[in-house]
Structure formats: C-alpha cells, structure tokens
Amino acid sequence: MSPALGRTGRIVTLLLVATGFAYPVAAFAVVGLRRDDGTGPTGLALRNAWDSWQTVLRFNDGVVLSWLGNSLIVATGGALVAVAVGIPAGYALARLRFPGRRLLRFCTLLTMVVPNTVLVIPLYLEVSAVGAVNNIWVVALLMGFHPFGVYLTYIHFRTTLPAPVLEAARIDGLSETDIFRRVALPASKPAVALVGFFSFVANWTNFFLPLVLLPLSSSTTISVGLPQLVSSSPLFDPTNAAGLDVRLYAPQLAVATLVTVAPVLAVFVIAQRALTRGQMLGATR
C-alpha cells in the first residue's frame, strides 16, 4: 500500500465517519426549526422553534418548567456535594497516610466501575425503608456520592502536588488540615472544575435514579419527563390527538430535547479549559 493511497484512505474514512456522527445531530437540530401541527413538518425558521417551545410549555400546565427546575436542583446540588465531599477525600487518599486508606481506595475504584444503575433498586429499598421516597434533597445527596470524582481528585493531587511542597509545609509546622486548606485547596481548581462538570452532567442525564425515587410526575426531573412527552405525542399514538389539547409532534419534541441539552453544553463550555487539560485522566463517565 503506497503512502499516498493510505493517506487518502485515512482522510476519506475519517470524513465518512464524521458525517455519520454529525449528520444525524444536524438533522435533528433542523427538525426543531420546523413547524408541524399534525400534517407533517414544513418551513424552516427560528420563530418555529419559539412557537414549539410555547406549545411544550402548555403541556400539563407547564410541568416541563418544574422538571427543568428539579433537574437543576438535583444536578447542581449533587455536584456541590460531590465537590465538597470529593475534593478533601481525594486529597486525603492521595497525600495522607491513615488506616483503611487502601480499603477506601479499593471501594472507590470498585463503586466507580460498577454501573450506577445496579445500585438504584437497593437505594430505593433503603430510602423507602426510612420513608424518604419522593424527596428531591435525598436524591441530590445521593447523587453527591461520586466515586469517579474522588478518583479524579486523587489522580490530580498525586500528579500535580509535588511531595516536597507538602514536606516543606509540614516542616513549617502546619497541621495537616491547614496544609489542605492553604496548600492543596488553592491548587485544586482544575479538579474542582472536572469533578463539578462530570458530576453535573451525570446527574443531569441520570434517568433511573429519579425514575425510581421521584415517582410523582410533578416532582421528577427532565430526563424522566422527556419520555412522558414522547408517550403523549400523537406521533407514536395518533389517538392522542383526539384526547389531548396540547399536541406534540416532531418539532416540539426536538425543541424540548435541545432545551434539555443546553445546560450540559453550557457547563461544558464553562469547564472546557479544565477539561482539555484533564482529559488524560481517563475521563470516561
């Protein structure tokens, strides 16, 4: 195989695959700009997206806004807890010696690689045993358990905080908590951004936990809500058109989805600089 041929083949392959990834996303965004009141999508204008959004808002008296609000609470709350709890823990794991450290590190790794949904039914059993189902703060707290964030912080402090600096601080007579506050914390900004970002995105897109722990449709999150929009759409059940006054067709569903993605993109942009530096950490979830 000649190098020129290989080069062309490589570029063509990459471009073809890129089309395969980008085309559906672009086509989906375009659906959001169209108009449909049951006769098939027509037109292409930003105005249509706005109208569609108004229709979505009328669904069940604006329940979509409650869903978005609830998502914001659990995603932000969970991210704050994950940062507040995960940064100190990650630091301690990386830089302090204490009994049980290896066990804790092991448990962290294990809970990190086990898919989180397998713990949802057990969590439900636990939470319902103490009668706290349908409590949004409980969900936010549980989402704050983010072993991946602890591991990220652990890696961060192992790789970026030189041991001599810590040693110097110790010799200077700082207590270990002071060292964390005055040496480690100021150096932890990238880790905070990473943990915050990954935790927020994981919480925002989490479907199973809110489905099980927030069963009332007004108190659930947008990821549980979106499928409810789908099942009320005449698109997949034409008889819905006869019963419902708010009719959601393809453009309305697409706009609702794009609105749902917006916060994730926003956080992505905010955290981007830290992310590009941190992607070597094996950011996978």
Partner 1 sequence: MLRRTGTTIALLALIGLTACKGPEGTGTADDATDSGGRITVWVDPPRLPAVNAFQQAHPEIPVDVMTINGNVGSTELQQKFVLFNQAGTGWPDAIFFPSNDDIAWAANSKINYVRDLTDDLADVIAQYAPSSISQCRIDGLFRCLRNDAAPDVLWYDKQLMAAWGYQPPTTWEDYEKLSLRIAAEHPGYVTGFLGDAYAPDRYLWASGCPTNDRLSERQVHINLGDPRCTRVRDLLDHLVAADVVSPAGIFSPDATALGKRLVMSPGAVWWGSFLFRDTWKVPPGRIAAAAPLRWTADPTPFTSSEGGGLWGFSRHIKGTQLQNTLTFARFVATDPRWQVDLSVGLPGVGPLQQPWLTRQRETGYLADFDAAAAAFVLASTIVRPERDYTRYNTGTVWTHTVTPALTSGRSFAHAWTVFGERLVGEARSFGYTVHNSA
Partner 2 sequence: MTTYRSIQTEPWTPRHQVHPQPVPARKVRRTGKTGRAVRTGRRAAAVLVLPYVALLLVGGLVPAGYAVVKSLQNESETGFGGISSYQRVVSDLRFAETFGNVALTLLIWLPLMLIGVVGLALLVDASPGRFGTTMRFIYYLPGALAGVANFMLWLFLLDPGQSPIAFLWHGFGYGTLNEVAQPGNLPYILAAMLFFQGAGTWVVVLSGGLHSIPDHVLEAARIDGAGAWDTAWRVKLPMIRPWLGYLTLLNLAYGFQLFLEPQVLSQVTHGLIAPQWTPNQLGFSYAYQILDTPMAAAMSVILLAITLGVGLLVVRRSGLFDDGR
Question: Rounded to an integer, what distance in angstroms lies between the CA atom of residue 114 and that of residue 107?
Answer: 11
Note whether 162 binds partner 2 by CB under 8 A: no
60 is a contact residue toward partner 1 (CB under 8 A): yes
Cβ closer to partner 1: 215 or 282?
215
CA distance 22 to 251: 19
Which of these segments, 16-24, 169-177, 193-201, 224-232, binds partner 1 (CB under 8 A)? 224-232
**Residue 253 touching partner 2 (CB under 8 A):** yes
Of residues 79-118, those binding partner 2 (CB under 8 A):
81, 83-89, 91-93, 96-99, 101-102, 104-111, 113-118
Widest CA span of the chain, in angstroms?
Answer: 77
Nearer to partner 2, 15 or 50 (CB): 15
What gap in Å lies between CA 125 and CA 231, rounded to an integer? 28
By a kind-dependent CB cut-off of 5 to 8 A, residue 280 interacts, out of partner 1, partner 2, none, with partner 2
Q: Which is nearer to partner 1, 229 or 258 (CB)?
A: 229
Dihedral angle sign, alpha carbons of residues 48, 51, 53, 55 = negative
- Quick one: what does residue 31 bind among partner 2, partner 1, none, with the CB cut-off 5 to 8 Å set by partner type? partner 2
| Dist CA 259 CA 274 (whole Å) | 25
Closest approach, Cβ 243 to partner 1, in A, equals: 4
Contacts of residue 198, Cβ cutoff 8 Å, sequence gap at least 6: 146, 148, 149, 152, 283, 285
Q: How far apart are CA 12 and CA 4, in angstroms?
A: 12
Footprint of partner 2 on 11-30 (CB under 8 A): 11, 13-15, 17-18, 21-25, 27-28
Structure tokens belonging to residue 108:
């962290």
- DSSP letter at 114 equals S
Cβ proximity to partner 1: between 69 and 243 the closer is 243
Give the interface with partner 1 as residue ranges (CB under 8 A): 60, 128, 131, 133-134, 215-217, 228, 231-232, 235-239, 241-245
